[in-house]
Chains A and B, each alone.
Chain A
């Protein structure tokens, strides 16, 4: 354990803890762009700088580990001035698109400009002028909004490990791209959207099929309904409609999803959904009430049981349904029908 002081408060932190984490542990929030607790910190954006007594310059709190006796100021005048300068520099070549940007309300750049009272850059910079890469069906990449935090590239190369995107060119022209600057759709990208979930600004953003602002949605934590990995995800809900999915950073998926989990939710409110019980009459389906359907099924079941016995029934349960539902399905067949002819698609 290491003892230090942050903003005058005494703190104890385990060896190797970063200043950022130690501050967080006592409720002090330091802004970050490029930091992601799943990745090796690489200190690219410097928005997280803090003042450490005795140090010659400000230090990136996401990379510097605490040491015994350290005295840290996270919001001193020079720290705040530096953060403002960083924000001004970013804004110098950032389109001020907040009115229509998909990310508004959930954008770190917007949040920090608000927090640090930055209205405009004041620096005359060269604006970037990249075409928007719209080639992927699920998300787009607007490099003009990119702040070069590198998170997408690191998530892709270190966590998702697909290695589709990387840094192209050098200097001011450095940008996120794929070999030969072709469009994303020409790359090895698997549309997992993990880069999109990591992007702190609106550069990588999902093509939403419904318009929503982040403050209009409620989130509901659930388990992905596709494969057996069981990824944890937050459904974003607006007006009784699932409008987006965000990964949760916990076991088993640790903030990752695949394309089906991230973007495969749009079947939920599809017009083809079955909305009422249907009974087949003369070869075609006719809408029925629940009671009509239940009564018909119950009559038929009694009839078959009387004439042919319980083993004339076959129940197919479902690996897509919940535990509780599978339990009730086998209970229906065993306890109520009286047969063990109950199985599901485990072998398929």
Chain B
């Protein structure tokens, strides 16, 4: 997030796209509603009539995969009606002409046809967002999990810059990070192209720095992303896989392919707290400590580095992941040892400029938001004050592109996936909590009653959903939440798993799979 979570409370307009906030980031959902009680207006653009839609001034029930068209149309209205922030554009941005030219054809009427919403609602939303003193855009996987995900994200920053709603308190672009420490994993360089602190592996001076710090020779060849590694392992060029705390058998698209890979890779190590669907395929399983059994830090979605503290002893002979990794490194002849995670944090701070001032003694009472370059620095609540990381903000003209798979005669429905309040990811943890299972005990597909009627399907009937990659039998839940041409399946469940159906087509830049749109056929059973 470019803003802090509590800045939401003082926003005038909150524009939520591709985020079912009250179910997936519930406490932020509550803060959005507190802001509404304080007078903030809410705009929601989502393919499903999520709970927040009822709090919205304007609700745009867009067709899945049409975010860029919608955003272009909003900008078209802003420019048409002269609502842009001319000063901000002149002082802090460049390449405005390209944007202006690109959004020209996206009149509300034109976009309404693509997005399946009303042109008038597009106008209303544009006026509301553009005229706000402080406006915050909140988005999540509904924006990024598309083959056009990066385009969607760039369109969002186009809109924010156009209206000058960036780089100030309570105004910004705020992606919500889904998992507790996805922000931190990225910050720590658990990415194939960057070291900790986003320092590129392809830069010679960066390689030199880390070679000196770690006292080894390093590779400057950018590595492969998760989907690329899956592909490489399927083709046999990756022989050894080490999976820590992930369950790709349920979370990744195209389960049949994942299964093929895990079965065929030469050697698979899985480190986890439970026997997951993925661990079943391992050659060696290492039992890890759960969060309450270890010390460490997580970095939340507002870049706040916060302490995790050990409350109980690990189950059986399980060990904290950091202990396992350290001991394995030592076995392999790399002799560095740490007595506790705070020593690891000191090393992190020494090589990661944005974490430079972070140490456990400073985190004792309250977390710190990075960038925090030195010990005297108090942290950074919101980003891009005064300037962007690259200097001027760059506008990019972006065309709407259809999803990789569109509906046709054979596969007439769009399948979109997501989470529910009571479960988390692949249910490794929540599936073992009775009360949460009592709330949502089995998988289901949301289907519009009119569509169901045409198929002769009633509430609770088992239906067969087929995509080009697989088939699942699943209970139908009839609801107006989805439009007639859309079905929704939560991806938590290994049974009738949504990801048997989903498309592993990637965004060419971010390599994020298109989990939010694929074409499916539905039959009554």
Q: Complex: how many Å from CA A298 to CA B190?
A: 21
Does A161 reach chain B (CB closer than 8 Å)? yes
Among B444-452, B454-462, B464-472, B509-517, which stretch is in contact with chain A?
B509-517
Contacts of A160 in B (CB 8 A): 30
Contacts of A344 in B (CB 8 A): 182, 185, 190-191, 226, 246
Q: Which chain B residue shows the least CB distance to A314?
A: B229
Contacts of B144 in A (CB 8 A): 347
Q: What 5 pairs between A and B have smallest CB-CB spacing?
A: A275-B316, A230-B300, A322-B296, A318-B245, A340-B223
Q: Complex: how many Å from CA A323 to CA B305?
A: 9
Q: Which chain B residue shows the least CB distance to A302?
A: B332
Among B60-68, B93-101, B114-122, B173-181, which stretch is in contact with chain A?
B173-181
Contact in complex: A343, B436 (CB < 8 Å): no
Among B70-78, B79-87, B102-110, B264-272, which stretch is in contact with chain A?
B264-272
Question: Which B343-399 residues have a C-beta within 8 angstroms of A?
Answer: 344-345, 347-348, 366-367
13 inter-chain pairs at a CB distance below 8 angstroms, sorted by A residue, are A137-B435, A158-B37, A222-B292, A222-B308, A240-B313, A272-B274, A275-B316, A310-B219, A322-B297, A325-B320, A336-B329, A338-B218, A347-B511
CB within 8 A of B432: which of A222, A266, A297, A326? A266
Contact in complex: B316, A276 (CB < 8 Å): yes
Q: Complex: how many Å from CA A123 to CA B52?
A: 48
- Apart from A261-B27, A290-B319, 4 more pairs, CB < 8 Å: A259-B439, A267-B429, A277-B284, A311-B238
Does A170 reach chain B (CB closer than 8 Å)? no
Contact in complex: A347, B510 (CB < 8 Å): yes
Per-position 1/0 for B222-254, Cβ under 8 A of A: 111111010011000111111111101001100
Q: Complex: how many Å from CA A61 to CA B177?
A: 42
Question: Which A292-312 residues have a C-beta within 8 angstroms of B?
Answer: 293-298, 300-302, 304, 308, 310-312
Q: Which chain A residue shows the least CB distance to B224?
A: A341
Does B315 reach chain A (CB closer than 8 Å)? yes
Does B430 reach chain A (CB closer than 8 Å)? yes
Contacts of B325 in A (CB 8 A): 325, 328-329, 332
Q: Interface range on chain B: under 10, 10 to 19, 20 to 34, or 35 or more?
A: 35 or more
On whether A335 and B344 interact (CB within 8 A), knowing A228-B300, A274-B318, the answer reads: no
Question: Which B9-47 residues have a C-beta within 8 angstroms of A?
Answer: 22, 24-28, 30, 33-34, 36-37
Does A124 reach chain B (CB closer than 8 Å)? no
Contacts of A267 in B (CB 8 A): 273-274, 290, 428-430, 432-433
Q: From residue B117, how far is it (CB to closest CB) to chain A in Å?
A: 26
On whether A228 and B176 interact (CB within 8 A), knowing A274-B285, A319-B181, A327-B188, the answer reads: yes
Q: Which chain A residue shows the least CB distance to B316?
A: A275
On whether A323 and B348 interact (CB within 8 A), knowing A137-B438, A348-B515, the answer reads: yes
Does B57 reach chain A (CB closer than 8 Å)? no
CB within 8 A of A328: which of B300, B317, B344, B510? B344
Does B201 reach chain A (CB closer than 8 Å)? yes
CB within 8 A of A316: which of B24, B242, B274, B304? B242
On whether A322 and B181 interact (CB within 8 A), knowing A161-B33, A268-B292, A344-B226, the answer reads: yes
Q: From residue B5, how far is it (CB to closest CB) to chain A in Å?
A: 4
On whether A137 and B439 interact (CB within 8 A), knowing A293-B286, A324-B296, the answer reads: yes
CB within 8 A of B322: which of A263, A296, A324? A324
Does B291 reach chain A (CB closer than 8 Å)? yes
Q: Complex: how many Å from CA A318 to CA B512?
A: 16
Does A182 reach chain B (CB closer than 8 Å)? no
Among A23-31, A82-90, A98-106, A248-256, which stretch is in contact with chain B?
A248-256
Q: From residue A175, how far is it (CB to closest CB) to chain B in Å?
A: 25
